Each structure stands twice: as structure tokens, then as C-alpha cells.
């Protein structure tokens, strides 16, 4: 067996192991999924105004890769000085409908509404 044949076999075995681990991961996620009556939300709170744009791009890319069958939203608490009229923010929020910008007051109102519903 030449070096390249060994390398090819090693690559095939490595990819097969990776595929099996991903299949087991998907199975575990499917078995432990939330019921349809539960709405899962993530909360992102940027520390500074400068961290808002990279955070939104990261959340947008995660939302694209998330399973569409899962009802999950990400609430981003905006700093008081955030300017949402910036074209970059508008584009990011249009591309990722699962990323929802909220203020502190909006977040408190959402939590109170959920508590009153239950």
C-alpha cells in the first residue's frame, strides 16, 4: 500500500466516524427535543455598543444553520445608544427573522406577558 492509498483510507475512515457522530448527535437532539407547546428563546446581551454588530452577524449565521423545525428565537437586548436605522443592522435583521431586537423595557414587558399567560 502506498502512502496516498493509506492517506485515502484514513480520510474515508475519518469522514465515516465524523458522519456517525453527527448521526448520533441528530438522533439525541431529536429524542430530547422540546414539545411543540414550548417556545425556546435565547437571550443575548452585548456588553458594549461596539460588540453589537459582530454579535448580530454571529447570531444571524447561527440562525441560518439552525434546524427550521425548532421554534427558537434569539432576543438581543439593545444598548440604549444603539442606532437601528443603520443600514447594516436593518440588513442583518431582515436576513435573520429569528433574531429579534428588544430594549430592556420590551424584555420586561415580554416576561410579564408570559407570566400572566401562565
Mean residue pLDDT of the chain comes to 80
Report the predicted TM-score, pTM, of the whole model to 2 decimal places: 0.57
Q: Enumerate the β-bridge partners of residue 75.
A: 43, 100
Q: How much is the pLDDT for 89?
A: 73
Q: What is the DSSP string of 73-117?
A: EEEEEPPTT--TTSHHHHHHHHH-TTEEEE-HHHHHHHHHHHHHH
CA distance 68 to 10: 34
User: What value does the CA radius of gyration of the chain take, rounded to a whole number of Å?
Assistant: 21
Q: How much is the pLDDT for 70?
A: 62
Which has more confidence, 71 or 30?
A: 30
Amino acid at each position: 500500500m502506498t502512502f496516498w492509498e493509506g492517506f485515502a483510507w484514513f480520510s474515508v475512515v475519518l469522514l465515516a466516524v465524523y458522519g456517525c457522530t453527527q448521526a448520533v448527535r441528530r438522533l439525541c437532539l431529536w429524542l430530547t427535543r422540546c414539545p411543540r407547546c414550548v417556545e425556546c428563546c435565547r437571550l443575548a446581551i452585548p456588553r458594549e455598543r461596539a460588540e453589537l454588530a459582530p454579535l448580530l452577524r454571529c447570531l444571524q449565521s447561527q440562525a441560518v444553520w439552525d434546524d427550521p423545525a425548532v421554534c427558537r428565537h434569539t432576543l438581543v437586548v439593545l444598548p440604549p445608544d444603539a442606532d437601528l436605522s443603520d443600514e447594516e443592522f436593518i440588513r442583518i435583521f431582515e436576513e435573520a427573522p429569528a433574531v429579534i431586537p428588544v430594549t430592556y423595557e420590551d424584555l420586561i414587558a415580554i416576561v410579564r406577558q408570559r407570566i400572566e399567560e401562565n
